[in-house]
Structures are given as structure tokens and as C-alpha cells.
Amino acid sequence: MAKIQINGRKINIKQKINLSDLLKKYKLDTKKIALELNGEIIPKQMYKKRILKNKDNIEIVHFIGGG
């Protein structure tokens, strides 16, 4: 098990989980978010390839429409 931080909240995850699986777990629509992993913005096409590891820090920003 690994410990990561998402938007300032510490959570435990299974080993060998990728960003795509994490977003599915939390039911987040990849079309409406931007994701930063350890200070680096990750392109959406890389979500399946980026495996999370202990002490990773993730920031997720949601896009909201309006005027």
C-alpha cells in the first residue's frame, strides 16, 4: 500500500495504480479536469502510463463553466 496526497488530503492506495484508475475510482471526468503530479502537469494521454508511488502529490483542478 502507498500513501499519496490529493488536493492536500492524504489517502492510501493500492500499489501499481495509474492516474486513470484513480480518477475512475473517484468518478472524475477527465474532460473537465487538469491534473498535476509532483508539480508537473500531466497530459491526459499519459494518465494510463503514469503509475502512482508512495508520497506522490496530486493536485486536481475542475473546470467550471459560467459567465
Pick the CATH number of 2-62 from 3.10.20.30, 3.40.630.10, 1.10.3720.10, 3.30.70.1450: 3.10.20.30
User: Residue ranges of the domains in the chain?
Assistant: 2-62
Cell 486513470, residue? 20
Q: Extract the C-alpha cell encoding 15.
A: 500499489
Please state the φ and ψ torsions of residue 32, each to the nearest 5 degrees.
-115, 15
Partner residues linked to 10 by β-bridges: 5
Is residue 64 over pLDDT 90? no
For residue 67, the model assigns a pLDDT of 62
Amino acid at 29: D
**Grid coordinates of 57:** 502529490
pLDDT given for residue 63 in this prediction = 83
Which whole number is the average pLDDT over 12-18? Answer: 91
